């Protein structure tokens, strides 16, 4: 039996709660549909770990992780410790250190899921957001002068490189080419941010020449935000910079029913370093510990991981099980208007897989 070794970082808040359900579903599917054995190494790296050790991960943590084929991640962030530590010592450096430059975030309106927009049919909203994940507005470049005084000055610099823009745009064009609608929308704010996003536009115009079979165009992010609500069905593949991709994918999650359904993959396409799979949502301190978080975003993220591991049948089975559970509608967590628990939702997926 093929064995795949996966690192699991549940993290904080609802992270470990939803990841437990993702593990169950992926394990059952991999064994049944691809005859594969998934071996999980649970790593306790989190805010609790930080409070005990003064750091988010051990000194050799980044080396440890390289031994795994993939990383399944819950979320980090806790009100008792600044995000400047939790998020900035674990999540964001992981994306950069392992060059996970493709952040793929699908948004799909499943049958049986209440849509906040009137008159939308299942499957009518079906987009793949390709978010640049290693540079742009998230570049760790900047600083503070005269902190704590009224003369304080803060500088936060965006970094856009031709190579960085080109590789995410090409990844998005390749995906668009394989989809029935073959449509791609590049999103910037180059009317205001003329240098960084102006470069993005230049690269977009250069790269699109290689993809004349794709119906490509660009939109400014303010107008795009409006259209994500007004006519989300008009989008197919969307490609955006780090910050805009972040914001737009909470929006695409909301219009497809719940952030509790939004999955993501942080991919290093060269496979030189492990890729990481996590729900779009965070640690949700407001519902943590109550056992009511929707685990399906994590389950669908595990399906993206199965795809990455080459276990395509297992990935498809997990997605089909999720679609079945949602369509039946008997088991729904509160974000979907029901009263089921996280575990009951996980049970329903496992039952559908069996
Ligand atoms: P959040 O995504 O954690 O929560 C936003 C809202 O969505 C909350 O009302 C929450 O209850 C709800 N929600 C989120 N996931 C849900 C689920 N699975 N089921 C049902 N409802 C769900 O965003 P936030 O409150 O802005 O951030 C909380 C913390 O998480 C912060 O510290 C933030 O920095 C961090 N964060 C981490 C990640 C990550 O590690 N990948 C992602 C986003 C936010
Ligand atoms: C996400 C999160 C992170 C991001 C935060 C926690 C820095 O919102 O993964 O979407 O903005 O990338
Ligand atoms: Mn986000």
For domain 126-255, the CATH class is alpha beta
- Provide the whole-model pTM: 0.98
pLDDT in tens, 161-179: 999 999 999 999 999 999 9
Tell the residue nearest (CA) to atom 5 of ligand 2: 87
Interface pTM, i.e. ipTM: 0.99
* The pLDDT of residue 1 is above 90: no
Tell the residue nearest (CA) to atom 3 of ligand 2: 246
Contact present, 188 and 248 (Cβ < 8 Å)? no
pLDDT in tens, 258-296: 999 999 999 999 999 999 999 999 999 999 999 999 999
- Check if 1-101+268-354 and 126-255 are the same fold: yes
Domain residue spans of the chain:
1-101+268-354, 126-255
For domain 1-101+268-354, the CATH class is alpha beta
Instruction: From 80, 281, 333, give the residue whose CB has the most ligand 1 atoms within 8 Å, as the site to mutate.
Output: 281
Report the relative pairing of strands 153-156 and 142-145 from DSSP bridges. antiparallel
Task: Give percent of the chain above pLDDT 90.
Answer: 100
Mean pLDDT, residues 225-243 taken together: 98
Q: Where are the alpha helices (DSSP H) in the chain?
A: 15-34, 47-53, 61-65, 83-86, 92-97, 162-177, 196-207, 221-230, 242-255, 296-308, 312-328, 342-353
Which ligand is the nearest neighbour of the Cα of 251? 3
The residues assigned a catalytic role are 138, 189, 222, 246, 250
Tracing tokens 């051990």 back to the chain, one arrives at 58
């Amino acid at each position: 039996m093929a064995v795949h070794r996966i690192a699991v970082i549940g993290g904080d808040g609802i992270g470990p709660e939803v990841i437990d359900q993702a593990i169950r579903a992926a394990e059952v599917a991999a064994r049944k549909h691809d005859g594969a054995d998934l071996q999980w190494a649970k790593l306790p790296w989190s805010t609790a770990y930080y409070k005990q050790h003064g750091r988010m991960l051990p000194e050799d943590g980044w080396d440890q992780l390289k031994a795994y084929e993939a990383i399944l991640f819950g979320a980090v962030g806790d009100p008792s410790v600044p995000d400047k530590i939790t998020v900035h010592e674990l999540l964001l450096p992981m994306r950069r250190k392992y060059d996970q430059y493709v952040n793929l975030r699908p948004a799909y309106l499943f049958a049986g899921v209440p849509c906040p927009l009137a008159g939308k049919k299942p499957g009518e909203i079906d987009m793949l957001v390709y978010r640049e994940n290693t540079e742009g507005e998230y570049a760790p470049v900047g600083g503070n002068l005269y902190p704590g005084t009224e003369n304080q000055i803060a500088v936060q610099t965006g970094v856009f490189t031709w190579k960085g823009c080109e590789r995410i745009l090409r990844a998005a064009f390749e995906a668009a080419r394989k989809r029935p609608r073959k449509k791609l929308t590049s999103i910037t704010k180059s009317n205001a941010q003329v240098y960084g996003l102006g470069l993005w536009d230049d690269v977009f115009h250069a790269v699109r020449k290689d993809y004349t079979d794709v119906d490509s165009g660009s939109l400014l992010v303010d107008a795009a935000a409006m259209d994500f609500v007004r006519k989300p069905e008009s989008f197919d593949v969307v490609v955006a910079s780090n910050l805009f991709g972040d914001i737009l994918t909470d929006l695409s999650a909301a219009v497809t029913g719940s952030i509790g359904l939004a999955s993501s993959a942080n991919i290093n396409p060269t496979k030189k370093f492990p890729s990481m799979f996590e729900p779009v949502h965070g640690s949700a301190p407001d519902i943590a510990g109550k056992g009511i978080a929707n685990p399906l975003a994590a389950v669908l993220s595990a399906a993206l991981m199965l795809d990455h591991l080459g276990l395509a049948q297992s990935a498809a089975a997990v997605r089909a099980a999720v679609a079945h559970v949602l369509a039946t509608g008997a088991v729904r967590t509160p974000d979907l208007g029901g009263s089921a628990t996280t575990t009951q939702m996980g049970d329903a997926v496992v039952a559908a897989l069996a």
